[in-house]
Structure 1
């Protein structure tokens, strides 16, 4: 199919995608609670005439469009969950759920995947093999929904898999991706320091958990700068610290702090976990305290297949997009489980429009999507599919 035909096809579903996105944006649901979102997707798939199956244990949906010609099995993923953020946009489609909003573009992802389902169903001559559409719950909260879909076998037999993610600070018409790692291993830590309380006037009688915790927080910042190969990217960030209540004369017997560890390689991941134990053990020995460490391995690194992503970049450029090869960032995404199973590509697609005041980053109360970006994303997915099966 020629580019002009592909653009015309994407444009045919613009209004429907906007309607999908408006509905979903007004009715956001948190991770693992996407009951009504899932019901809306099922209703639309039934209207379009696309068969689907349900995931066990969550609200995930896997729809399949089957063509009349042999070919590859290609997958596309859209996540459906929202965030616990109070929306600050003054728009007619503002979230109707207090304290919850689609601040990461998942409403748009779902709308575009419904658009792809309808476009391919109404133009099955474009489908060579099968197209599997993953409407995934709970990307925002570990253990996430992707792993469950993969573990239940829904990704088996795929030749390639793709996911686009809207990015507000990037203008519509621009795509950012890379060959290789694009996002990091995303782990979390919870540290509890146990000490011995005392009156503030008798510090010699205490094993001050607050002081030990503060020293540990500072010492942990040296792991990346002094124990990790400087060519390896990593982050150890402590984000919450709590010890005691509002008192001015009590030395605390307990301190708790939480944080995140971000790495790209398995070696760096293992090394940092080991060094955290080393640091905590040393600090606690100095201050006469003990510690507990809960190290929770989260999503693995998102690593694009080199061959698939190189071909994807060519398809995106052929479709008229400005493609930027971006550096990896230390964010996390459970699409990693799909990429660990099947060769594929994850890409950021611009949804910003500075002329319209749409430029806020994801996970902020002002995040929004330029409506032109929905059509742009559908064009991209059609181009990726056509390139994968040799029709574009």
Structure 2
């Protein structure tokens, strides 16, 4: 595969996308750019508006099997603090998670595959909106992604700080955690702060609840189960001399197994019930929001990724079954609907400090773009073997 002529274009697209980031379901300019380029490449079909702002490019060559390749397009509601020449021009919005790189790499692969067609079958290039908390993957599925485009398997990658540039990591099972969120309201009886005996202080009981929730992981789950329960906000009262009526908590739950996820939700509800039946004059109300499920690879397809990576970058740069991340990813919905796998592409530059995802100084490492394109193209050509 020769990519020298392609790399300058792909890096240019990446920086243009980085300069003009768009939030969930607002990726109108980005998706229009993607669709325009796909048509210029000679892709057989370009379908827009799937899941509001999603785009699917279809590349056909014969009647063989089919494969889906997915890239996410949305940015984060953050102010960029870096000073690159391609710094975000949209106030309060930046590509701090590398989705600009994901999109550019898949565009590069689409261009190469459309021009060379060294495969037998169909490639679906899936450009997804709204990964960052708004379940754009599920939106595309609800809009008929897998009914309209019959994929035998789908694959997704994410750039990964913490791995050397060009390294590839994949797990046979869970690679990212589920995420759910909760809101708790503890209602007591307000009164003058100088006369606490005349009221029921919700702050005291809400504070106890914060500590009790920490025992879910430390005392109620097996040490062999992986979960995180974090209370992330605590709000109550407006004046120093008033015991308020209500204290409110919010937080999140992350798990690496579906059964653990069910168990933690049940335990949180158990703690709410214990507050309400204690007869202390307080009432606790829970609102529990189901978020992204566990990103769990299909073992067969994890090994397909692993073998493809071995042939591409060599054994010393491929990792199987690293510790999963407790962060979450809505590609999990796609893996529930279609066989496939999700993997990480390392981006750390040698001798430089790692900058984490969702950091205001984060910028995608263009040095790994060629590896990403090569991976997609070799995966297609290896899975959709061309017949003479």
Q: Pick the TM interval, shorter chain.
A: over 0.9
1:183 CA displacement: 0.9
Cα distance change on mapping 1:372 and 1:56 into 2, 3 Å: closer
Of residues 32, 41, 44, the one that matches 1:39 is 32
Q: Which residue of 2 aligns with 1:59?
A: 53
Q: Which residue of 1 aligns with 2:223?
A: 230
1:286 CA displacement: 5.8
Report the Cα distance in structure 1 between the residues aligned to 2:9 and 2:279, rounded to whole angstroms: 64
1:249 CA displacement: 1.1
Q: Deviation per CA, 1:118-175: give whole Å up to 9, x if none.
A: 1111112x13110001110000023x11112222222242111111101133221111
1:72 CA displacement: 1.4
Of residues 133, 142, 146, the one that matches 2:137 is 146
Determine helix, strand or coil for the equivalent of 1:132: strand
Q: Deviation per CA, 1:87-116: give whole Å up to 9, x if none.
A: 121210011112111000000111011111
Find out whether 1:30 has 2:30 as its counterpart.
no
Q: Which residue of 1 aligns with 2:338?
A: 342
Find out whether 1:382 has 2:381 as its counterpart.
no
Report the Cα distance in structure 2 between the residues aligned to 1:85 and 1:12, rounded to whole angstroms: 34
Report the Cα distance in structure 2 between the residues aligned to 1:137 and 1:194, rounded to whole angstroms: 39
Give the 4+ runs in structure 1 shifted more than 3 A: none
Q: Which residue of 1 aligns with 2:111?
A: 118
Confirm or deny: 8 A CA contact 2:109 2:374 kept in the other structure: no
Q: Deviation per CA, 1:4-56: give whole Å up to 9, x if none.
A: xx3x2x44321111011000000001111111111111211122122211235
Of residues 117, 131, 138, the one that matches 2:123 is 131
Report the Cα distance in structure 1 between the residues aligned to 2:189 and 2:266, rounded to whole angstroms: 26
Q: Which residue of 2 aligns with 1:211?
A: 204
- 327-336 or 45-54, which moves further after superposition? 45-54
1:222 CA displacement: 0.3
Confirm or deny: 8 A CA contact 1:21 1:108 kept in the other structure: yes
Q: Which residue of 2 aligns with 1:163?
A: 156
Of residues 356, 372, 379, the one that matches 1:361 is 356
If the length of structure 1 is used for normalisation, what is the TM-score?
0.93
Report the Cα distance in structure 2 between the residues aligned to 1:374 and 1:57, rounded to whole angstroms: 27
Determine helix, strand or coil for the equivalent of 2:64: strand
Give the alignment's Cα RMSD to 1 decimal: 1.7
Cα distance change on mapping 1:52 and 1:339 into 2, 3 Å: same
Q: Which residue of 2 aligns with 1:3?
A: none
Q: Which residue of 1 aligns with 2:264?
A: 272
If the length of structure 2 is used for normalisation, what is the TM-score?
0.94
Report the Cα distance in structure 2 between the residues aligned to 1:163 and 1:266, rounded to whole angstroms: 21
**Structure 2 segments unaligned to the other structure (5+ residues):** none
Report the Cα distance in structure 2 between the residues aligned to 1:136 and 1:336, rounded to whole angstroms: 13
Of residues 361, 365, 369, the one that matches 1:370 is 365
Determine helix, strand or coil for the equivalent of 2:65: strand
Across the two proteins, how many residue pairs are aligned to each other?
380
Find out whether 1:103 has 2:99 as its counterpart.
no
Report the Cα distance in structure 2 between the residues aligned to 1:158 and 1:16, rounded to whole angstroms: 29
Report the Cα distance in structure 2 between the residues aligned to 1:313 and 1:287, rounded to whole angstroms: 57
Q: Which residue of 2 aligns with 1:317?
A: 310
Confirm or deny: 8 A CA contact 2:179 2:252 kept in the other structure: yes
Report the Cα distance in structure 1 between the residues aligned to 2:154 and 2:313, rounded to whole angstroms: 21
Confirm or deny: 8 A CA contact 1:168 1:369 kept in the other structure: no
Determine helix, strand or coil for the equivalent of 2:346: strand
